[in-house]
Chain A
Amino acid sequence: MEFQFDSLASFFAMNGHGPYVWAAYGVAVLVLVALAVAPVLRQRTLRREFKQQLRQEEARRRAAAARAASQRAVETVE
């Protein structure tokens, strides 16, 4: 098994079929890369959104707890 072309130039030219071959491979590789990258980005966005939601819930819970505590403090003073 050996490299089938004399030079890099003839490899790119593919004996006149270069544009067809390289277009086919180029588009295919682009689509495959997009297929692999899209779900990774989607997961990243989802995780960020959910974590933000969790933080907001946590902040609300803390605020509610603080309000309840100060309410109790007022009641004991009275």
Chain B
Amino acid sequence: MSWQWFHRLGSPRWFYQKSSAWLPWLGGAALLLLAVGIVWGLGFAPEDFKQGNSYRIIYIHVPAAFLALAGYYIMAISGAIGLIWKMKLSFVVMRAAAPIGAALTFIALFTGAVWGKPTWGTYWVWDARITSMLILFFLYLGVMALSGAFSREQSGDKASALLALVGTVNIPIIYKSVDWWFTLHQPATLKLTEASTIDPSMFYPLITMIAGFYLFYAWVLTLHTRAMILQREGRTQWVRELLGAPAPTKA
């Protein structure tokens, strides 16, 4: 079997050239699903019999939290691939994933706080789920800070990849926090192994939003990765030719 595809995958140039064709599809599908999901969730899904209309925040809160966690795996795994196989592209993806993950974690925390006020009577409690999500937010910020703290780019790559890997201990804690500790946070609405505790009329808009967030994540990660590739590879010949420099003449 040829390993060529694997090596090509590690090439920033290959990724930059291929990904420009994916962008309109990813972005279009993501925005379409998000628009449908937002209108559905805000206006057409039925009111919750216990929480009233405040529950509509779930259509933002749960997808954002999903992607905050999935994004951490993507960041940590990219960092690991970079450390093990010394792939240039994977460090770029790791760096690009950090601010996106931080933003999604922020959305999850913020929407959770404004949902908590009418539901629990408080914006914030130091309970297990919320505190572990706050730690996730700081881990993302830590990776961002550490990756930019070295004058040698490679040192920043390695140090922040290590931090990202160590931080993965936090992820199962977040998942399990609502089961392990007595918390205010409600248990998971969606379950893989048993029936979800949500009516189909609320489930369909939620799954639409989750799919929309996944596509949006892929789209935005590609955009950030491309910008970072351009920044890092600015002095290479292929970027110079991309920007209209004449090909080198053989003397």
Contact = CB atoms under 8 A, between A and B. Distances in A.
Interface string A1-41: 11111000001001111101101110111011011101110
Interface stretch (B125-133, B158-166, B168-176, B239-247): B239-247
B114 A20 contact: yes
A54 interface: yes
B226 A39 contact: yes
Nearest to B64: A28
A51 interface: yes
Given A24-B61, A47-B243, A35 B220 contact: yes
Contacts of A17: 52-54, 56, 118
Interface residues of B, number: 44
Contacts of B34: 32
B118 A27 contact: no
Contacts of B38: 25, 29
Classify the interface of chain B: helix, strand, loop or mixed.
Answer: helix
A46 B228 CA distance: 10
A62 B201 CA distance: 69
A70 interface: no
Nearest to A41: B227
B43 interface: yes
Contacts, number: 108
Classify the interface of chain A: helix, strand, loop or mixed.
Answer: helix
Interface string A40-65: 10110011001100100000000000
B44 A3 contact: yes
A4 B243 contact: no
Nearest to B58: A24
A60 B83 CA distance: 41
Given A31-B106, A32-B216, A24 B230 contact: no
Interface of A: 1-5, 11, 14-18, 20-21, 23-25, 27-29, 31-32, 34-36, 38-40, 42-43, 46-47, 50-51, 54
7 contacts: A17-B56, A20-B115, A32-B103, A36-B219, A36-B220, A51-B244, A54-B243
Given A20-B114, A21-B53, A31-B103, 12 more contacts: A1-B44, A4-B46, A17-B54, A20-B54, A20-B57, A24-B57, A28-B111, A35-B103, A43-B230, A46-B227, A47-B230, A54-B245
